[in-house]
A and B are shown apart, each in its own frame.
Chain A
Amino acid sequence: MIAEAGLAALWLAAGLAALQLFLMIVALRSGIAVARAMRGIAVVQGALTLGAFAMLLLVFARTDLSVALVFENSHSAKPFIYKVAGAWGNHEGSMLLWVTVLAAAGAFVARLSRRTSEKTLVAALGAQAALALGFYAFLLIASNPFARLDPAPLEGRGLNPLLQDPGLAFHPPTLYFGYVGLSVAFSLAVGALLTGQVDSRLARAMRPWVLAAWIFLTLGITAGSYWAYYELGWGGYWFWDPVENASLMPWLAATALLHSINVLAARGALKAWTMMLAVIAFSMSMVGTFLVRSGVLTSVHAFAIDPQRGTFLLALLAIYVGAAFVLFAWRGAALKEGAPFELVSRESGLVLNNLLLSVILGVVFVGTLYPLFVEAVSGEKLSVGAPYFNAVAGPLALILAALVGLGPLLSWRRKSRPVLRRLTVPALIAATMLVISVIVAPAMGILPRLGLMVAAFLAVASILPLVGRNPFRAPLATWGMVVAHFGIAVSLAGMAANGAFTAETLSVARPGETLRVGPWLVQLEGVVPGAGQNWTAIAAQLRATRGQGPVMLEPQTRYFSNPVMETNEAAIRTFWNGQLYTVLGKPDRAGGWQLRLWWKPFVTLIWAGGALIALGGALALLGRLRLRRRRPPTEWRQERYA
């Protein structure tokens, strides 16, 4: 009954979405006031999909094997948290989560949005309903999560052990909040293009959504990066895998949008450009969903290929993106020009930021889709990996990071204050860093060295907006900007240090033997068996020393029975100045074991920086929302009761 209730809720929600879309068309054509009804419908629709998702969680929690999805992806002897998280560790469940977030976002817009004009809101709710409708159709026609099996099997097939990790509980939902949160920006942009009301009011209404989605994307990418780092046992934090790129592309677009929307909100400029970015940001989310869910690209995340689903998603993508671009071409040119600004001004700085981010986005986009394109044209198979992305996107990202230090010092509209003089101290520090790095590590690669320099420069320059004023009286949004920009410097420093100073040892050791990696001596004491709730393991006992007292590490190979699979569990120890990363390999016939050891100085800064960037976003969001509460939206009230 639970599964049927979930399915019924989905059908009802789809019906309501259709009604919502219909009401929008009626309202825009004949001007009938239906905003209140549409708000109500959007809220009920959101509640219904939440209900359907709750039903899915319930059947997974109870391991109801008569539901096909549970049989395929669960097993009674699985830890409870993975039974529940397993609900979205598969295609159907994750698409339901996607739709749930989409509908819930629609409900929140309907409830909370008081800033936009009523007409734009009606149009935006209609656009949101149109989006939801397509994805309801995809779920109900091509990926029903509630399909039953008759007779019910006795035991499930189990969840891929790589996914049996706390990372699964947080990483996909966080990313989805980000992906789908951008749908609100998309719908508001479409709505505003339909009504022609693209102004700073719209920007202020859109900004919290973009910020929130961007925070979640940042957290999701950071968490995913760390998950891949410790779970795959390859010692890398970013593989330029198509699925990783699928999350990076919306982030790049959202980052650009986040900056241009400030220009629109503060100065009323960059109207068409900002609307374009809002459309592109969510389009990238859909491209990402298509890449991940259709399995068309070789990837760590590669799932079995299902042409029907891929085609369905591609059709949805083409319809929505195509329609939005047609609308943009039709209405975008009619937008009034924004307020003017000079060549050297905050606006120009943000335009430059946007252009660089767009170029990086383009480079990542082309590199990610190139294999698909080539295979479609010539039938040849190829893949594009880290060498391409590092060589092309790396230098661009460094230039951008250096300019991040400069932009916030410019003032709106016109040139003022001697900006370059304020950058003397950061420039000197960058130069000092260059000298130190040449003395300490003369053989360092050019990208890591530049990375260290830019990181040092940005770390100091990013704080300058708070210097020369009382930092405690600065707005929260300024604090947010400073913290986020400082986070970029921290993350960059981690990447550069990891690239330049990582020490690696790959060797065979017999019990009692000692290996050296960086400053560490690592002794293999022995290899012992171990067991967990649904796995057995062999674990190496490593005793690592550098000068002072020893630390113990136990990298394992785990053997899962449902499904049958071996996984590597790296053992990682974190110190203030880096991580010791150890992986157990295969035995040889003479009693030796392969061991792979890394000493990664300051590698944790990469994710600490990511967390700081997200924290900066959260501060800015808090600041904007507080400001909003202090200044009630009078315009809306007047319009409503006039």
Chain B
Amino acid sequence: MKPKNQRLVLVAAAVVALVAAVLLAMWGLRSQAAYFLTPADIAAGKGEPGASLRLGGMVERGSIERLPDGVSIRFVLTDGKARTPVTFRGIVPDLFREGSGAVAEGQMQSGTFVADKILAKHDERYMPPELGNLAAEHKAGKTLVK
């Protein structure tokens, strides 16, 4: 191969690789990206059953109940506007408490959010950014009401 052609082929290969990467990524993202929703979004019919989602809100006081198998729990996430029941099988994170924020990863199944992972804020300074925003909105909302 002549050097000039060789360079052309290399450039073409690089462009093909770049396009392939973007196309592959777009194809994957269409089916696999998990949207972050609040209970109000779910109430508005946004959470498609079966799609992977992240649901964020406050754990409603008095809502955590343990299911008979001993390792599953049911609780309610709320954003003050709507409530979504959540079930989870597994060990909840250490700072998962009633009245504090949590993010559940999973999917909607017949009106209940089935979570396969629960994230809670680690401590005052370390929390999922989405929860930080939610808490800030919450506070802003309260002061407006007052």
Contact = CB atoms under 8 A, between A and B. Distances in A.
Interface in B31-61: 32-36, 52, 54
Interface in A112-137: none
Interface in B79-95: 89-92, 94-95
Contacts of A635: none
A359 B129 CA distance: 30
Contacts of A338: 3, 6
A586 interface: yes
A382 B36 contact: yes
A585 B73 CA distance: 13
18 contacts: A160-B126, A298-B128, A302-B126, A338-B6, A340-B2, A343-B1, A358-B21, A359-B24, A366-B22, A381-B54, A382-B36, A507-B71, A557-B94, A563-B123, A564-B123, A565-B94, A568-B94, A594-B71
- Most chain A CB inside 10 Å of its own CB: which residue of B69, B71, B103, B130: B71
A617 B107 CA distance: 43
Interface stretch (A169-177, A386-394, A462-470): A386-394
Interface string A341-358: 111000000010001101
B70 A508 contact: yes
B34 A383 contact: yes
B70 A340 contact: no
A566 interface: yes
Contacts of A51: none
B7 A392 contact: no
A198 B88 CA distance: 58
Given A351-B13, A362-B22, A588-B66, A388 B32 contact: yes
A367 B28 contact: yes
B125 to A, nearest CB: 6
B6 A337 contact: yes
B4 interface: yes
Interface string B1-32: 11110110010011001101110111111001
Contacts of A419: none
Contacts of B21: 358-363, 366
Nearest to A232: B93
Contacts of B10: 270, 273, 351
Nearest to B38: A381
A150 interface: no
A75 interface: no
A434 interface: no
Nearest to B6: A340
A399 to B, nearest CB: 12
Summarize B's interface: helix, strand, loop or mixed: mixed
Contact of B29 (A351, A359, A388, A588): A388
A41 interface: no
Nearest to B92: A586
Interface magnitude class on chain A: 35 or more
Contact of A567 (B70, B94, B128): B94
B74 to A, nearest CB: 14
Nearest to B124: A563
Contacts of B70: 507-508, 588, 592, 594
Interface in A559-601: 563-568, 583, 585-586, 588, 592, 594, 596
B111 interface: no
A296 B33 contact: no
Task: Tell me the interface secondary structure of chain A in the complex.
Answer: mixed
Contacts of B7: 337
B92 to A, nearest CB: 7
B103 to A, nearest CB: 8
B35 A384 contact: no
A383 B36 contact: yes
A570 to B, nearest CB: 11
Interface string A456-499: 00000000000000000000000000000000000000000000
Nearest to B132: A305
B122 interface: yes
Contacts of A359: 17, 20-21, 24
B29 A366 contact: yes
A566 B91 CA distance: 13
A374 B25 CA distance: 14
Contacts of B4: 337
Given A366-B22, A383-B36, A588-B70, A506 B90 contact: yes
A162 interface: yes
A370 interface: yes
A272 to B, nearest CB: 8
A382 B128 contact: no
A295 interface: yes
A639 interface: no
Given A273-B14, A303-B125, A367-B28, A384 B66 contact: no
Name the residue among B26, B33, B52, B95 with the largest chain A CB count within 10 angstroms: B33
Contacts of B126: 160, 302-304
Interface string A300-322: 00111100000000000000000
A527 to B, nearest CB: 15
Contacts of A273: 10, 14
B116 to A, nearest CB: 11
A383 B33 CA distance: 6
Interface in A259-314: 270, 273, 295-298, 302-305
Nearest to A592: B70
A371 B34 CA distance: 10
Contact of B130 (A298, A337, A507): A298
A594 B24 contact: no
A193 B126 CA distance: 43
Pairs A-B, 6 closest by C-beta atoms: A362-B21, A508-B70, A381-B36, A566-B94, A388-B32, A366-B25
